[in-house]
Structure 1
Amino acid sequence: MTSGFIRPMWSRHFVGLCLWLAQGAPLHALSLLTYNAAGNGTTDWSTNSAQVQAIGRQMLYLQPDVLTFQEIPFTNTWQMANFVKAYLPGYFLATNSGTDGFIRSAIASRHPIARSQKWLDGVTLTNFGYSGNFTRDLFEAEINAPGWTQPLHVFTTHLKATNDSDSASRRAAEASAISNFFVNTFLPANGQRPYVLTGDLNEDVNRPPGSSRQPIQRLVNPATGLRLTTPVNPVIGQDLTRDIQATLTARFDYILPGGLLFSNMATSQVFRTDVLNPVPPPLLQFDDRTASDHLPVLMVFANPFNAPFALTSINVTNDLISLSWETTAGRQYDLERSSDLQSWTKLATHLDATATNLGFSTNVAQTMQFFRVYRAP
C-alpha cells in the first residue's frame, strides 16, 4: 500500500518524489477483551471443568490479543498456565496481582508483557472518604505490541460489590484512589503512552442504584483522561453484561481507554453465544451461561502510531536535492532512488526519527530522478 504523491520540481533536472509506507509486516490493530470469569468459590479451575472449557471456547473463537480477567480463584491461580496452554497457546501471562485471599485478576497477551505490577493492593482509603481498605487492587501489564512505537499499559480492577450503603461508599473510594493514581503517579511519567482501564466496576453508570456515589464518574474525567465507551451486543443491541445466568439487568463490565486509544477505537461489542444463529464452531450455544454470570466485552483499536506521513519540503540547488518529510519519533525510515520507477537503489537506511520531521540531502547526477521514502514496520 502506498501513501503520498509524486511531485515534480523543475530546475536543471527533473525530480520526482514518492512517499511510500512500509511494504513489510502490517502495523497491527489490537483487540482487547475483559471478562469476569466468576471463579469466586470455584474449586475446580482445571481444563476439565465445564466452566473453564466454556470460557476457553469463547477465547478460541474471539482470539483477542489481550485479555484481562477478574475473579480468578486465588488458590487455583497456578491453573491459569494450563488454561493458556490449552486455549491461548503462545500467549504471555501475568498473575502477580493483589488479592483479597479469595480471588484475583490476571492478564494474558499475544504480545510480550514487559512488566506487570499490582498497585493499591489493600491500601487505606481514608484519604478518599472511606474508613477501610481497598478490597483488591489495580493490576497493570505493560505490553509491547508490534508496530506500536510506545508500550501499551493495560490496567484492570474489580471494585467492591453489592449496593448497601457501606459497599457503595467503599466502591466510590476505590474509584477515587484509582483516579488519584492515574493523575499523580501514572500520567506524569507516561501521559503520552496509550493506556486503558478495564474491569468489573460493579455498578451500572446508566442504571445506578439509589446508594450510588458515582464511582464511574470518578474514573472517567478530564484529569484521568479515561473515556466512557458503550459497547453493545451486535445482535440485540444491549449494553448489559450481568447476570446472563439469571436475568440481564445491569452493565458492570467496562473498557475505559485513554484519549489516544479512544480516538483510534475501531469496533466494540458485548459478546454472547446464546443469540448466535447459527453457532459457529468451536462454540456451544450456551457457553456464555456456563462460563460466567458476566458477559465478556471486546474492543478493537487501530494502531495509534500508524499516522500517514507527507512531504514537507523539497529543494533543488544546483546538483543537490534536500528532502524533508513528516515522521513519528521512534520509527525508522529508508530513502531510495530510481531513474525509471522500476529499479530502486537505497540511498539511506535505518534513519532514526527523534522528532516530527526528518531531512536528507544528496547529489542529483542524472537528468531524471525519482525518490521514495519507506517507513519501516
Structure 2
Amino acid sequence: MSLTTPNAVLVLEDGSRYEGRAYGAEGTTFGEIVFATGMSGYQETLTDPSYAGQIVLMTAPHIGNTGMNDKDMESRRIWVAGYAVRDASRIVSNFRAERSLDNDLDHEGIVGIQGIDTRAVTRHIRSKGSMRAGIFSGAAAAEPAEVQLSQVLEADQMAGKNLSAQVSTQEEYVVPAVGEKIGSVAILDLGVKTSTVNYIAERGFDAHVLPQTVTAEQILAMKPSALFFSNGPGDPAASDKHVELLSTVLKAGIPFFGICFGNQLLGRALGFSTYKLPFGHRGINQPVLDKATGRVEITSQNHGFAVDAPIDGVLESPAGFGRVEVSHYSLNDQVVEGLRCLDINAFSVQYHPEAASGPHDSNYLFDRFRDMVLASATTSGASN
C-alpha cells in the first residue's frame, strides 16, 4: 500500500478514535461496529446480507491475501456498511483469486480502514458493547473531531431497525431440486445466503425463494412441503408482519425450519420475546451444545439479538403452539441457540449450519429438516 494513501479514522459513539489509512472506497460511512472472529472466510462474511448496516471489524490480523472470486460469493454483492482491518494484504497469492479485496471494496463503494489496532477496538467493544461508529477517509478524515462525532451520534441505532426490504430479493426465483424431487420449500428471503438455497435443493426440494413482501395467503396457495425463514439483519422486534405470517403458516400445519433471524422470528411467533446482546456472536468458532445428543458443535454465527427463554425444561408456548424446548445453547454465555417444538413440526437454530467457509459441524440440520418434512408428509397421508 502506498505511503501516500489518504488517512482515515474510525470514530465510535463514545468518542473513541482510531487513526489508520484508507482501505477500499474513500468517503464516510456509518453503522453499528461489530467484531468477527473468523480466521478465514472474509469473502463469505462480506457478502452475508446479515451484516447489512454494520461496520465489521476483523480480529484476524491479516486480511485479503486470498483475494476475491465469484464462486465464494454468498449473495449478489458486499453488504457490510464498512470494513476495518489491521493489516491489509499488499498482494493476492491464491490460485482461485480473480481480483483483490481492495478492488472489490472500492468498486462497490465500501468505505474501509486499515492499519488500526483491531485488538484494542475488540477489547473496547467487549467491555462497552456494540455501538454506532463511523469511518471517515480521504478528505472526510480531515474534518474536526467534534463534527465527526456529531455525525456518528446522528446515525440510526440498530435496535428497532427493519432491514429486510434492503436485502431481500425483489422477485421470486426457483432453484430446482438436485436428483429425485421429494417436495418444495418456500424460502422467505430475509437475507438468504446462496449456500442455504443450494443445501435445500440438494436435499431434493425445489427451493422457491420469495421476497419478504410475500403474504401468508400466497404461501399457502403454493402448497409447499415446508416453509423456511432465512438469516438476515435487523431487530426481530421490528418484523411483526413476518411473525404474523409465520404464525398463520404454523397453524396451517406446514413444517418449518429457521436459522439465525428465522430462529428469532420463530421465538416471537411462539410467544417469547427477544433482546439485544451486548456485543453479539460473530465468527466461525462459536461453541454450542446440542442438548439432545450432548455433542458440542463449533458453529458459524452472526447475530446481535437473541430469544429470551430458559434453557432448561419443557416450556409451554405463550402463543398456544404447545410444548417447546430450547434445543441448543451457547457454551460461552448460555444464550439460546435453538428451539424445538414438540407438538408441531417446527425447529430452528440461531447459528449458521450453511456456513460455506466452515465449520461444517451443523450441516446435518438440513438432513434433519428433510426427515421432518418426509415424516410430516407420511403422517398427513395416513390421516387422510
Q: TM-score, normalised by structure 1?
A: 0.29
| Greater relative contact order structure (CA < 8 Å, 6+ sep) | 1
Q: TM-score, normalised by structure 2?
A: 0.28
Which one has the bigger helix percentage?
Answer: 2
